[in-house]
């Protein structure tokens, strides 16, 4: 999560988009239109929207695979055009859907691409490759010498992730990285990514059109349509409080909300602890979590009390719990 050294009210900004516009030479409509966005350091921000909404264009402008028509982008306060594009890109991890692994290179050489460009010595590269393969859950002994064609789709994407992480970039760009994987592999990799993100704390911009993936991964969701930001906020905020019909249709397909409405608040209650003031408002423990969350939002509370059939307070439910449930994988919920 974000580290907030001295000013709790002003979290450090990692990536700053300032009135960015992209118009492609052949198109009269802009792919990204006068877009401004601040990404908080250490956040995993998901750009969400239908195809053609400009999310991939925005992502690729960040490492200058696409040049903005107007506007500026800075990373950690440095304008991205102040250094040569290849140098900029070596500092930013980049993962794409079809993995983009180099088919003629073994796993170890794929992962070592950026370290080699930066002229690390052999021993350091060797150790780093081992470390990264362990990190992404592929035992080095069995995987180092394989070619990408010898790996499953999920394994390839793990290698893609390891390659992007090779020189410990502070910033990662991920363009629908799990889009081509089957549901089970995808959810495994989503969990891995969250674990890695929690461990290493990079700033990640993640593009997807899958609302469930967004809810599961994001610290912040940015919903885009026709090159503009329609809504931006915490996943639960987006899911429960869509800004307009477009967003509500987009999130309508979400399991997350459905999941919340399937769970009784009482089953996830935090027991009352001595010495803590009872919440200002309470609802019956039999109420579903979605309604509980709506009540919290309506009352502006971070937690509310739960009462049993007799109206006695038996515990509380808070935002963190709701969020955790919303993020939990459906396979685990169905049990």
Partner 1 sequence: MNFDYLFDHWREVLDLTWEHIELCALAIGLALIFAIPLGILISAVPRLRFTTIAILGAIYTIPSLAFLAFLIPVPTLGLGRESAVVVLAAYAQLALVRNMQTGLTGVDPTVIEAARGTGMTPIQSLMHVRLPLALPVLIAGLRIATVSTISLATVTAWISAGGLGTLLFEGITFNRPSMILAGTVAITALALSADLLLRLAERLTPASRALHSAQS
- What residues make contact with partner 1 under the rule CB under 8 A? 63, 65, 86-91, 94, 96-105, 113-114, 117, 146-150, 163
Distance of closest approach, residue 22 Cβ to partner 1, in angstroms: 17
When the beta carbons of 174 and 251 are compared against partner 1, the nearer one is 174
Q: Give me the sheet containing 30-40, strands edge to edge.
A: 30-40, 13-23, 70-75, 78-79
When the beta carbons of 92 and 326 are compared against partner 1, the nearer one is 92
The two beta strands, 282-284 and 303-307, are: parallel
Q: Please choose, from the candidates 14, 25, 36, 334, the residue with its C-alpha nearest in 3D space to the C-alpha of residue 172.
A: 14
When the beta carbons of 29 and 150 are compared against partner 1, the nearer one is 150
Distance of closest approach, residue 178 Cβ to partner 1, in angstroms: 15
CA atoms within a 13 Å half-sphere pointing along the CA-CB vector of 137? 14
When the beta carbons of 85 and 280 are compared against partner 1, the nearer one is 85
H runs (alpha helix) in 218-254: 235-240, 245-252
Query: In angstroms, rounded to a whole number, what is the distance separating the alpha carbons of residues 258 and 270?
Result: 22
Query: What one-character DSSP code corresponds to residue 150?
Result: G
When the beta carbons of 158 and 163 are compared against partner 1, the nearer one is 163
When the beta carbons of 113 and 262 are compared against partner 1, the nearer one is 113
Q: Please choose, from the candidates 66, 16, 12, the residue with its C-alpha nearest in 3D space to the C-alpha of residue 41.
A: 12
Query: In angstroms, rounded to a whole number, what is the distance separating the alpha carbons of residues 25 and 70?
Result: 13
Q: Please choose, from the candidates 330, 57, 41, the residue with its C-alpha nearest in 3D space to the C-alpha of residue 211.
A: 330
Distance of closest approach, residue 74 Cβ to partner 1, in angstroms: 18
Query: What one-character DSSP code corresponds to residue 48?
Result: E
Distance of closest approach, residue 86 Cβ to partner 1, in angstroms: 5
Distance of closest approach, residue 56 Cβ to partner 1, in angstroms: 11
**Contact between residue 292 and residue 322 where contact means Cβ atoms under 8 Å apart:** yes
Distance of closest approach, residue 158 Cβ to partner 1, in angstroms: 15
């Amino acid at each position: 999560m974000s580290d907030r050294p001295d000013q709790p009210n002003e979290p450090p900004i990692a990536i700053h988009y300032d009135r960015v516009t992209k118009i492609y030479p052949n198109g009269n409509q802009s792919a990204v239109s006068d877009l401004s966005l601040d990404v908080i350091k250490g956040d995993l921000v998901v750009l969400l929207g239908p195809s053609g909404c400009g999310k991939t264009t925005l992502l690729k402008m960040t490492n200058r695979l696409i040049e903005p028509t107007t506007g500026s982008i800075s990373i950690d306060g440095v304008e991205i055009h102040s250094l040569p594009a290849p140098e900029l890109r070596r500092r930013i991890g980049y993962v794409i859907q079809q993995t983009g692994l180099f088919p003629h290179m073994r796993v170890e050489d794929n992962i070592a691409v950026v370290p080699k460009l930066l002229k690390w010595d052999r021993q350091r590269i060797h150790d780093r490759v081992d470390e990264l393969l362990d990190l992404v859950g592929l035992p080095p002994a069995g995987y180092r010498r394989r070619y990408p064609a010898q790996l499953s789709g999920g394994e390839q994407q793990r290698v893609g992730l390891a390659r992007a992480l090779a020189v410990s970039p502070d910033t990662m760009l991920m363009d629908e990285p799990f889009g081509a994987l089957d549901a089970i592999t995808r959810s495994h990799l989503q969990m891995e990514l969250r674990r890695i993100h929690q461990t290493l704390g990079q700033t990640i911009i993640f593009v997807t059109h899958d609302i469930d993936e967004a809810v599961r991964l994001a610290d912040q969701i940015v919903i885009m349509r026709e090159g503009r930001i329609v809504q931006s906020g915490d996943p639960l905020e987006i899911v429960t409080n869509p800004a307009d019909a477009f967003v509500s249709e987009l999130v309508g397909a979400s399991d997350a909300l459905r999941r919340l409405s399937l769970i009784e608040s009482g089953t996830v209650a935090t027991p009352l602890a001595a010495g803590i003031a009872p919440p200002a408002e309470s609802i019956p423990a039999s109420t579903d979590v979605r309604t509980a969350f709506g009540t919290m939002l309506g009352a502006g509370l971070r937690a509310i009390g739960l009462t049993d059939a007799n109206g006695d307070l038996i515990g509380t439910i808070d935002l963190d719990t709701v969020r955790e449930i919303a993020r939990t994988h459906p396979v685990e919920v169905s049990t």
